[in-house]
Amino acid sequence: MPDPSPPTSANYHHGNLREALIKAAVQLAEEGGPENVSVREAAKRVGVSPGAPFRHFASKTALMTAIAEEATSRFLAEIASAVREVAVDDPMGRFAAVGVAYLRWAIRNPTHFQIISNRSLIDWDGSASLQRDNAAIRALMEEALTEAQRRGLLASNDLAEAQIAGRALVYGLARMHIDGHFAQWRVDGETAERTAQNVLKHFTTLMGNR
């Protein structure tokens, strides 16, 4: 009996192992959370030996970082797009748009949000794109609030405090959602997004001078 599947020219070289590994790792995270991702299992699913992934990623952290880079890029794009749809002379509207878009993306992409929120799986300091995109997201929020204060549209007179508060609200709501805290109230997935956004909008108006 001949070898049923020798490493012939057809499959010895995968062709796009890097992308395939990223896809497999994301799938593993979707099945059992980011902690469930294992390089070996991803390699197995792609049909490659356990050592192969390390030709493309120096470490498991590097693999997860690559996933985070892709995700953060899309995250930023969606937030920036939402901001662009608000009138330039409405900073509080831009601020609210950032928050709503942030939450919307986090809720609709829970796996990726969990990955980019997990400090221990990712090498933040080692990725220029991660730092740049995250800074850009922060800048979008900060610009809106700074401009709002300049125009006297902000209730608080402490800009830093308002920025931290806004960030905490959005981040807290997003984390409550992915950590399952909403189940402690009666909120059921479907309404979670609407509820969180209502809370956010209510507070952005509360932060504004009306």
Cβ closer to a copy of itself: 62 or 187? Answer: 187
> What whole-number distance in Å separates Cα of residue 91 and Cα of residue 141?
9
Taking a C-beta distance cutoff of 8 angstroms, is the pair 182, 176 a contact?
Answer: yes
In eight-state DSSP terms, residue 124 is S
| Among 1, 5, 8, 120, interactor with DNA by CB under 7 A | 8
Instruction: Write down the least CB distance from residue 132 to DNA, Å.
Output: 24
Q: CA 167 to CA 96: how far, in whole Å?
A: 11
CA gap 163, 178 in Å, rounded: 23
The answer to whether 106 and 113 have CB atoms below 8 angstroms apart is yes
Q: Which of residues 131-160 bind DNA (CB under 7 A)?
A: none
CB of 106 vs DNA, minimal distance in Å: 25
29 binds DNA (CB under 7 A): no
Determine, following the binding rule CB under 7 A, whether residue 40 of this chain makes contact with DNA.
yes
The reply on whether position 171 binds a copy of itself by CB under 8 A is: yes
* DSSP count for the chain of H helices, then E strands: 8, 0
Indicate which of DNA, a copy of itself, none lies near residue 12 (CB less than 5 to 8 Å, by partner kind). DNA
Strand partners, 154: 208
60 makes contact with DNA (CB under 7 A) = yes
What is the sign, positive or negative, of the torsion defined by CA atoms of 90, 91, 92, 95? positive
Judged by CB under 8 A, the number of residues near a copy of itself is 37
Exposure on the CB side of residue 80, measured as CA atoms within 13 A: 12
- Which residue, 76 or 169, is less far from a copy of itself as judged by CB? 169
| Binding partner of residue 61 among a copy of itself, DNA, none, CB cut-off 5 to 8 Å per kind | DNA
Q: Does residue 60 touch a copy of itself according to CB under 8 A?
A: no
First to last CA, the chain: 83
Taking 3-state DSSP, the helix, strand and coil percentages for the chain, each rounded to the nearest 5, stand at 70, 0, 30
Choose the one of DNA, a copy of itself, none that binds residue 159, judging by a C-beta under 5 to 8 angstroms depending on kind: none
Which residue ranges make up the site for DNA (CB under 7 A)? 7-9, 12-15, 17, 37-41, 43, 47-52, 54-56, 58-61
Which residue ranges make up the site for a copy of itself (CB under 8 A)? 33, 35, 117, 119-120, 138, 155-156, 158, 160-161, 163-165, 167-173, 175-176, 179-182, 184-185, 195-196, 198-199, 202-203, 206-207
